[in-house]
Amino acid sequence: METDWRLVTFSEIDLDDRTFEIRKFSGSPRLRESLARLGIIDPPWLRKKRGRHIVIDGFQRLGWAKENGAQGIVCRIFSEHCDDLELWMQRIEKKIFEREMDLAEKAQIISTLLRLFQPDEIPGFFLSGIDVVSRPEVLRRWALLSSEGAEILEIIASGAIAERAAIEVASWDKKSRASALLVLQALRCSASIQVEIVERVNEIAVRETKAGADILENPRVREILASKDSNRRRKTQELREFLAELRHPRLSSRHKHFQREVEALGLPPGARIIAPVAFEGNSWKMELSFTGPEELRKILESAGSAAESDRLDSIFRPPVRRDEGGQS
């Protein structure tokens, strides 16, 4: 591919032409620190176009140089006759292998590749370089994220969104996708919990024939997120509990009843009753924690008294629902 290397003044460069931009929405302080310390080590790429030059690679470096008073910069210049596909392939390969990229950059790259190739024709080394599977459905989800514009790309570039969670919500409607990403960005919880939240919202929405946004913009969810008395960890737990209640209302009611009756029973601190998983089956357990024989004797004595309480039986009975006989 025909190229040249020379000093190019900024008057020769059209910085407004963003044809080849893969925009970085998250700031890169390390890049600016390196530029301030060492200057531009990796020359930008330009392409001749109607008597001027457009940028292929190096938007941030050129912006920094102009901000700092440079009149020009040494660049690699591609001929105006260079094939667009070849330029994009070189641009993307350089982007993939020069450093770790954020999710917004990855989405833009995949969107560009889908403009250049059919899904099954994308060169494998591009997808392996950004650790993305070649399934067309997955690639289309990435492209959907890219198509949503700057607001969504800024959110997924923030580092707060797990990749799998972003892909899960990519196929949701626009409003639901934005709602989910904003909630996850606010909570900044682990990747596994993000996926749990997204999957649970989707399950509730499907069952109730609603959109994900209808679930996530519930007044209770807004109250949880707006609370000034809870940190992010507590808000995350409260949201998970609320979604679990919406997803499995009977199980949630059963669990609350169990907790309430156990507390009322007044077991000693070293004893606790463990219910069967999902309250299914008859395998109940009691766990005792003690430091020595004297403490054990006290726990057993206190637990024995609790066992005589009339409340013990109610622990093993599910709560009576209002629609069963019309009584609560």
DSSP reduced 3-state for 249:
helix
Residue 30 CA to residue 105 CA, distance in Å, equals 17
Contact 32, 109 (CB under 8 A): no
Domains in the chain, CATH or no CATH each: 1-82 (3.90.1530.10), 84-159 (no CATH), 172-247 (no CATH), 261-315 (no CATH)
Residue 270's pLDDT is 84
- In the chain, the percentage of residues whose pLDDT exceeds 90 is 57
| Range scoring the smallest mean pLDDT among 8-17, 35-44, 267-276, 308-317 | 308-317
Q: Where are the beta strands (DSSP E) in the chain?
A: 3-9, 13-14, 45-49, 52-57, 72-78, 271-274, 285-288
For residue range 100-132, list pLDDT tens digits in order: 789 999 999 999 999 999 999 999 889 988 899
In the chain, DSSP finds a helix count (H) and a strand count (E) of 16, 7
For residue range 133-149, list pLDDT tens digits in order: 999 999 999 999 999 88
Residue 324's pLDDT is 46
pTM, two decimals, is 0.69
In this model, does residue 251 exceed pLDDT 70?
no
